[in-house]
Chains A and B, each alone.
Chain A
Amino acid sequence: MVLSVSDLSVARGGIPVLEGVSLRLGPGEALVLRGPNGIGKTTMLRTVAGLQPPLSGAIEAAPESLVYAGHADGIKATLTVEENLSFWAQVFGSKDVSAAVDAFDLDPLRRRPAGALSAGQKRRLGLARLLVTGRTIWVLDEPTVSLDVDAVAMFAGAVRAHLAEGGAALIATHIDLRIPEARIFDLAPYRAAPLGLDDFDGAFL
């Protein structure tokens, strides 16, 4: 078991959105989170990534095993593609960026300033960052935004390769990624019921 979430409740803007979510992720497994807009997919992923505290419940993962990729890619426009990747490689204590460059076909763009990339190319660069981190659990929020069909296939290939090496992925997305290993996890049943107004702090949440 690489990631285990038990009885998790999360809040957005002080208001509970999801409650009682439990899921487990083993090596080589991927989970695709589904649910209508506003159900709390992003909130859930940010909580799992440790960016915000859960209202209740527990998240268990090996230390330093998670990597998070959100809506924004964290790309510095004035640095080249390679410098961007090298920076993150240094942060995560690895060195080699060539595998990441190859997986997302960034070789022709290596020396180009990231500010000159198209939206889809930036996204590819943002996803390539996952590979240089060397982390086992990928927590991805809408990774395919602004990617074309070829690039989505590229991404699916990268995820499958990651899973084949014993990695795991937790992905929130609306489109079909064509990753046969992935299970679908629907969040709709976990929508939080409002707290009673007479609870201790109930009036505030």
Chain B
Amino acid sequence: MRAGGGFGLGLAFFLIVVVLVPFGVGPQSALLSTIAPGILWLGALLACLLSLDRILALDWEDGSLDLLATSPLPMEGIVSVKALAHWLTTGLPLVLAAPVLGILLNLPAPGFGWLVVSLALGTPALSVIGTFGAALTVGLKRGGLLLSLLVLPLYMPTLIFGAEVARRGAEGMALGTPLALLAGITCGTIALLPFASAAVLRVNLR
């Protein structure tokens, strides 16, 4: 359960994506500050995606999942703890690193606070949804690409509302509605999706 390894890669990936964007779109600071919230959200989302297959793969390979499944712990609890572990090792560092990378992209000053808030609210949903995807593909040999294909459509609502909060924050607009909807999605996924993940994992362990 502990001691996975390779989670720091997500942070490095986030940094690289953000560094590459100006090379792609040009160095004009006006353009960069317009797209900064969206790029930062997208970068965080992709960095999150990168480490998803590590959530369960190690425990699958060494047989721990079988043993955990026959232990007194409920499967729903196991997947929830897994998602929490993923958030602590991936989501939280991304949230903390985002403002620093915001400087690189010339993010407008009022945007920093809302960027952190939106990421802090949104990344737990990304981890929980990602755990569902990891549970779906855990037994597959080439599961990595499939995992992305399955998880990315599920990420869409979170991305839309999260980036909307960050963008409106940067532009100084009212953002109560998307913030509430983002929080709603996160709470909903945390409350309900572990049941689906646990069911999927039980099927995969048969």
Contact = CB atoms under 8 A, between A and B. Distances in A.
B206 to A, nearest CB: 4
A46 B63 CA distance: 13
A49 to B, nearest CB: 5
Contacts of B66: 51, 68, 70, 72, 74
A205 B68 CA distance: 30
A158 to B, nearest CB: 18
Contacts, number: 61
Interface string A62-98: 0010111111111111110000000110011100000
B72 to A, nearest CB: 6
A22 interface: no
A52 interface: yes
Contacts of B68: 74, 91
Interface residues of A, number: 28
Interface residues of B, number: 19
A72 B64 CA distance: 8
A71 B63 contact: yes
B123 to A, nearest CB: 25
Nearest to B5: A78
Contact of A72 (B1, B62, B71): B62
B70 A76 contact: no
Nearest to B206: A52
Nearest to B66: A70
Interface string A86-128: 0110011100000000000000000000000000000000000
A49 B5 contact: no
B3 interface: yes
B102 to A, nearest CB: 34
Contacts of A71: 63
A92 B69 CA distance: 12
Contact of B67 (A52, A68, A77, A79): A68
B71 A92 contact: yes
Given A50-B70, A74-B63, 10 more contacts: A67-B70, A68-B70, A72-B61, A72-B63, A72-B66, A74-B66, A77-B62, A91-B68, A91-B73, A92-B72
26 contacts: A46-B206, A51-B69, A51-B206, A52-B206, A53-B206, A64-B72, A66-B70, A67-B70, A68-B67, A69-B67, A70-B63, A70-B66, A70-B67, A71-B63, A72-B61, A72-B63, A74-B59, A74-B63, A74-B67, A74-B68, A79-B2, A88-B71, A91-B71, A91-B72, A129-B67, A133-B71
Interface of B: 1-3, 5, 59, 61-64, 66-73, 205-206
Interface of A: 46, 49-53, 64, 66-79, 87-88, 91-93, 129, 133
